[in-house]
Structures are given as structure tokens and as C-alpha cells.
Structure 1
Amino acid sequence: MPVRNFIEEVTFATPEGILPAPRDAWAEDWMAMPVRARDLAFRLACLQRPVDPELLREAAADLLPFGPDRDRSTEDLKARATRPEN
């Protein structure tokens, strides 16, 4: 049920509507939410706020534990978080 609710919420949600799900999952049991759902949540939030350094760092930190196949994305997010706004 939580995953179904998340999918319904995320379809047209703002970052404020999207981010509580992965943040709550992280706080309670960091593996409670499927990795792909977490990736989707942060990807959608970052698309809406592409120059928000705090969000980009949070997204990078969330990706980091999930292995080398996400390392390039993690490094990209970290680099974007340190770039000055254009």
C-alpha cells in the first residue's frame, strides 16, 4: 500500500510532495522503499529543482549506498551541487 500511494502521489507532485516518502523510508528502515522508487523520487525532485544544491547533495547521498552502477550519477549530482547558479 505505501508504494501504491507513493506512485499516485508522485505522478504530479511537487518536490514537497515527493520527498517525504524516501526521507521517511530512510529514517525508519533505509531499505524499506525499493531502490528504483527512491531513484524516481529524487530524479523527479531534481528535475523540478535542478540547481538546488541541498537537494542535489541529498539525492547523491541517497544513491551512494546502492552500488557502482549508480556511482556516475552520484558524482554528477555532487558536481552539480557545487556549481554556482547560472
Structure 2
Amino acid sequence: MASLIELFDSIPEEPGLARSEAEYRLVEELTFSSPAAILEFLETALSRDVLLVPVWIRNLAYRLACLQEPDNPSLLRRAAADLRFVGPDWNSIADELTRRAESLEGKDIAGE
């Protein structure tokens, strides 16, 4: 099976059936990937060009990783930072992820 980054790289730039099918293959593989594989994919793709990965793929990838490791404060913080990076629409979710991370680390954010 191809890696997530290989599947991502195989997505054509032009809209159409070939793009839809390639995105489908990526999402299918992403759905059953480990958090480590998902983070490796994100690190590789985002290191090339932070705007290269569409927001919906980034959100899905972080969501799937967080669902598998809900008690990982580092992962929760990374997901929150990415949500904040792409715009204010998800700031409330980013805030909740940050609160969860801080709670897991035993920090009280009420005094902020």
C-alpha cells in the first residue's frame, strides 16, 4: 500500500474525476492510519508548503489523530495551532483542544 504522502502526491491539480478518485484513496488510507503515520504525513506535506494541504484534509487528519490519542496534549496543541492558522472559523474548537491539553498537563487556565 502506498504511503499517505505518496497518495497525496498522486492527487492531480486539475478538478475532475481523477482528482476525486485520488482524494478518495487518500481519505480511505488516512481513515485507518495510525496517529504516527498521520503526523508524519502532515509534517512532510506541510514542510514543503504550508498552504499545499487543503484545509479539509488537514482538519480531517488532525481529527482522526486526536480521536486515536485523545490524551496526548502535544497532539491536541498541534491540532489547535493548525486550526488557528487556517482562520477564525474554528477558534472555539482550537480553544477547547488547548483547554483539554492544559487539563491533561494539570494546568489551570481559569486565571488567564
Say yes or no: TM over 0.5.
yes
Percent identical pairs in the alignment equals: 44
Larger % of helix: which?
1
Superposition RMSD in Å:
1.7
Aligned length: 85
CA shift for structure 1 position 25: 2.1
TM-score normalised according to structure 2 size: 0.68
Could you tell which deviates more after superposition, 20-29 or 55-64?
Answer: 20-29
Q: Which residues of structure 2 form unaligned runs of 5+? A: 1-6, 12-21, 106-112
Q: How does 1:16-35 map to 2 (within 5 A)?
A: 16-35=36-55
Q: Report the equivalent of 2:67.
A: 47
State which structure, 1 or 2, has the greater radius of gyration over its C-alpha atoms.
2
Q: Report the equivalent of 1:12.
A: 32
Q: Which residues of structure 1 form unaligned runs of 5+? A: none
Residue pair 2:31, 2:64 contacting (<8 A) in 1 also: no
Could you tell which deviates more after superposition, 18-27 or 1-10?
Answer: 1-10
Provide the rounded CA distance (Å) in 1 between the counterparts of 2:74 and 2:39: 13
